[in-house]
Structure 1
Amino acid sequence: MSNFLIYEQNGPIVTLTMNQPEQRNPLTGNSAVPEFLAAIDRIHDDRQVRCVILTGNGPSFCAGGDIREMKRQALPEVSEMDIRHEYRRGIQRLTLSLFDLEVPVIAAVNGHAIGAGLDLACMCDIRIASEKAKFAESFIKLGIIPGDGGAWLLPRIVGMSRAAELAFTGDMIDAEQALAINLVSHVVPHDQLMTTALGLAARISQHASHSVRLTKRLMREALHSRLDTVLELSAVFQAVAHKTPDHSEAVDAFLEKRPARFI
């Protein structure tokens, strides 16, 4: 039985809800990582899924790492190589797995997204914030560094200068400040957060699944590839897309002035 993550599916939309509100939904010191990995595998295997929403129960989205777990890692009997192994086999597996998920992921940030919680939101494709949301890249305040990929993720979203300011100060910002630096796409009243996220997921899900998946993959590859490489990959993906039944249906629907009916 799941102890951390609630998996709910309504048609093509999956909602993943982190569900340890008393501990502010931490990613360490519990079963969060294996449950995330299992959920992501389940989504990969279900071709009907077209969009994912990630949110948290309680006042926080995700508090990041468990402080008690950090205290354990500081014990003399826990070596540096032990900690390295724990990161590589733990939170970093979540980073790679969530970042590489083919279907779009919307982070519906309901409250505090702190440290690894902010980086978790950055692993998603789109971030929508409740007016109650707070954000901090707070590792520096605990004398550690973003061990989960935040140093790669955050600058690509807000730019190097803003990312450096957040990482070097550990300052907390509110939802409107997050919107101003493009960390989030929208800020909405707290009671409208999930309605807004579900509406966006529905707009994404109405399109051909293969086209959305290939577009996401192309955008991911473009983050670290040259233009000529991305153009070559685009040609290959486009050739595949042109030969799909969904493309033929989309063209027919456009010409016939009717909604497309995708499989």
Structure 2
Amino acid sequence: MSDATGTPCSEDAGTVRLERRGAVAILTLDAPRTRNAVTDPPVLNALVAALEAVGADRSVRALVLTGAGKAFSAGGNIHDIRNRRGMFGGPADQVRNAYRDGVQRIPRAMAALEVPVIAAINGAAYGAGCDLVFMCDLRIAGESARISSNFVKLGLISGDGGLWFLSRVAGPAVAAELAFTGRAVSGAEALALGLVSRVVPDGDLLPAALALAGEIAANPPEAVRMTKRMLQQAGRVDLPTMLDMAAALQGICHAGEESRLAIAAAVGPAPQAPGPKEEK
């Protein structure tokens, strides 16, 4: 990971840049030759390594994920798909295993992150790039953003679990429309459909994402991590299970130093208990 100046470190491998702005990490896909396609092994390996580095660093409180240049990510390498080479070549069982051992590492690494992830969507986010957008917890789009789950247009399906993430964000009806048509939506339409939380001018995209990340990072970090886990379970478990989880995590919060300090900062420290009376 790079330092506060944004100088890249060794895990970037020339395909991603991982930088720090205080407690916020910025992960930028930077493979201009393929418009930040994530299926090429150098990009895939560097992306997963960067996500794992963020997950291992407890000083990181939020992550912004974006793309360099005019695209967030074109998804899969279309030329490799056409030529059936790399992870797209060979018999069906070989391709299946290539997906499991390859691009499916991305959703597993994203799901393992405890800190909130904000997608700053610049330009095209197609195919696996669209899936990556919906693996994030929050999404801000630039005015030039175009989001498309375009697999059916290529006679394919989402092979990295993208429909699972899309349906959780968009709901079944909107997810079905986007997946069955494969059409691209603009930032404005994505906002109207509830796919992103806001649309900003392209020049304001990264500052807006960093401002949101900073607002998150200002909160007690362990409470934010627990809140993310609770949100991830919403809709997956029944209410009794959710209530049990909430009670257990809330017990940890109440007993912890983080909550004591945060509450003291908000309303003042707790009064001291009176000491034992001295006998006269």
TM-score normalised by L of structure 2: 0.88
Give runs of aligned pairs for residues 88-107 of structure 1, distance below 5 A: 88-107=100-119
Give runs of aligned pairs for residues 1-263 of structure 1, distance below 5 A: 1=10, 2-73=13-84, 78-256=90-268
* Counterpart amino acid of residue 221 in structure 1: Q
* Counterpart amino acid of residue 35 in structure 1: A
Which deviations, in whole Å up to 9, do the C-alpha atoms of 1:185-218 show, x marking residues without a partner?
Answer: 0000111001100100110000010000000011
How many residue pairs match? The answer is: 257
In the TM superposition, what is the alpha-carbon distance from 1:72 to its structure 2 partner?
4.0
* Counterpart amino acid of residue 230 in structure 1: M
Partners in 2 of 1:182 and 1:191 — Cα distance?
A: 22
In the TM superposition, what is the alpha-carbon distance from 1:139 to its structure 2 partner?
0.3
* Counterpart amino acid of residue 126 in structure 2: I
Which deviations, in whole Å up to 9, do the C-alpha atoms of 1:140-174 show, x marking residues without a partner?
Answer: 01100011112211111111111111111111111
In the TM superposition, what is the alpha-carbon distance from 1:3 to its structure 2 partner?
2.3
- Structure 2 unmatched runs, 5+: 1-9, 270-280
SS in 1 for 2:76: coil
- Percent identity reads 40
* Counterpart amino acid of residue 32 in structure 2: P
TM-score normalised by L of structure 1: 0.94
Are 2:143 and 2:199, in contact at CA under 8 Å, matched by a contact in 1?
yes
Are 2:89 and 2:95, in contact at CA under 8 Å, matched by a contact in 1?
no
Are 1:28 and 1:69, in contact at CA under 8 Å, matched by a contact in 2?
no
Greater Rg over alpha carbons, structure? 2
1:261 alignment partner in structure 2 = none
In the TM superposition, what is the alpha-carbon distance from 1:74 to its structure 2 partner?
7.1
Query: CA separation of 1:77/1:46 partners in 2, compared to 1, >3 Å: closer, same or farther?
Result: closer
* Counterpart amino acid of residue 167 in structure 2: P
Measured on the aligned residues, the alpha-carbon RMSD in Å equals 1.6
Partners in 1 of 2:219 and 2:174 — Cα distance?
A: 34
In the TM superposition, what is the alpha-carbon distance from 1:29 to its structure 2 partner?
2.3
SS in 1 for 2:165: helix
Are 1:135 and 1:172, in contact at CA under 8 Å, matched by a contact in 2?
yes
